[in-house]
Amino acid sequence: MTPTRSSVRLSDGRELIYFDESPGSSRSSFQDTRQLPPPPPASQLRYDPLTDEWIAVAAHRNTRTFLPPSDACPLCPTSERFASEIPAPDYDVVVFENQFPSFSDRIVPDEITQVTDLVPVRPGHGRCEVVCFTSDHNSAFGSLPVSRVRTVVDALADRTAELSALPEVAQVFPFENRGVEIGVTLHHPHGQIYAYPTVTPKTAAYLRAARRHFEKTGRNLYADVLAAEQEAKVRVVAANEHWTAYVPAAARWPFEVHVAPHRQVPDLPALTDDERDAFAPLYLDVLRRFDGLFGKPMPYISAWHQAVTGEGRELGYLHLQLFSIRRAADKLKYLAGSESAMGAFVNDIVPEAAAQRLRDI
């Protein structure tokens, strides 16, 4: 069932959207009682000529909220004792503009247009949103019911469609960071959406490889990779009628799984109802296997790779990348010299062994 969508404005003008599972319900009557200062202007984008990449400089993010106590969590519903980012006393799924965004549509003319002749500067035009998966502060995505995961997917699809239509947005990236080891600043179960003004370096690399493969074979690269994994079977962790979860043959991370639809689609809005329904139980199964590896909550990053909005969109293939930096019960994989300085990954665990351990949970 499609969730009921209602939108309100917070006291500083930022948009907040409720996605309610009860038919006809709306929480938009609840108003933000706080007196907030205006949101910060957009960040700077500075061009790095050595790597052909744009780097965002967002100094206002250095003051963002950091691991507050549970009774002062800005992602919990508003109560009599504390007014949070969500004015309603309860909610199912809610999305709102980030108070400390890396990218924004609030553009203020900047006196700096270049740092040197080789380093131009431009506004970080785009949008950053927060996605709260549940009002339960002590829950986790892997503990959500299948119906709630479907609501989250519908919310992400809604936001992807709307943000992709903005002329300044090059790609839309929904993701979740989980665990203090990953660097979360809020414990409440939540994710984020970045609407980037440029194509990210990882996506640019994907597009270059996909274009070469298409010019050589006339086929989609990710579709061929998925077909090869399905045929090999040895790295497949779980599958159903519409999705396959597998460990990539050249996985960078100790435990890494891709969850991919069997049909090439560019992004979340393109998924059918059946595909959205089938995703939830498979993904929850994989998350619970991650938590079962070491008998405790697994820190992870869950990243939706979607097609870009412009040139190269036809090469995209929607898939979810789930990975953890934990390589043993008491050990983390740090991105040290080779990974951080050179971008050359060295994995500590053989992908086939990782897939077998996940299947065994």
- For 248-295, the pLDDT digits (tens) are 999 999 999 999 999 999 999 999 999 999 999 999 999 999 999 999
Alpha-carbon gap, residue 235 to 249, rounded angstroms: 7
Q: Where are the alpha helices (DSSP H) in the chain?
A: 146-164, 201-217, 221-232, 273-293, 342, 351-360
In the prediction, which pLDDT does 150 show?
A: 98
Per-domain residue ranges of the chain: 4-198, 202-360
Q: What is the CATH number of domain 4-198?
A: 3.30.428.10
Amino acid at 218: G
Alpha-carbon gap, residue 361 to 357, rounded angstroms: 7
Question: Is the separation of the CB atoms in 157 and 268 below 8 Å?
Answer: yes
Alpha-carbon gap, residue 59 to 14, rounded angstroms: 19
pTM of the model: 0.96
In the prediction, which pLDDT does 311 show?
A: 97
Please spell the DSSP secondary structure of 223-264, one letter per residue: HHHHHHHHHH-TTEEEE-SSEEEE--TT-SSSEEEEEEESS-
Distances (CA, A) of 10 to 34, 39, 155: 8, 11, 19
242 carries an active-site annotation? no
Tokens of 296: 């405790």
Alpha-carbon gap, residue 28 to 323, rounded angstroms: 36
208-213 long-range contacts (CB < 8 A, ≥24 apart) are 210/312, 210/315, 210/316, 211/312, 211/315
Question: Is the separation of the CB atoms in 53 and 31 below 8 Å?
Answer: no
Question: Is the separation of the CB atoms in 245 and 239 below 8 Å?
Answer: yes
Residue 99's φ and ψ, nearest 5 degrees, are -70, -20
119: DSSP letter = E
Q: To 10 degrees, the CA torsion angle through 328, 332, 337, 343?
A: 90
Per residue in 65-108, pLDDT (tens digit) is: 888 999 999 999 999 999 999 999 999 999 999 999 999 988 77
In the prediction, which pLDDT does 113 show?
A: 86
In the prediction, which pLDDT does 3 show?
A: 92
Residue 32: closest CA among 73, 100, 83: 83
Alpha-carbon gap, residue 53 to 4, rounded angstroms: 40
Q: Where are the alpha helices (DSSP H) in 22-181?
A: 146-164
Tokens of 133: 């998966």
**Cα angle: 54, vertex 214, 252; to 5 degrees:** 55
How many CB atoms are closer than 10 A to CB 332?
Answer: 13
Query: Which residue is catalytic, options 187, 188, 190, 242?
Result: 190
Using 70 as the pLDDT threshold, list the residues of the chain that sit under it.
110
Q: What is the CATH number of domain 202-360?
A: 3.30.428.10
Q: Is it true that 4-198 and 202-360 share their CATH fold?
A: yes
Name residue, tokens 């990348």.
Answer: 321
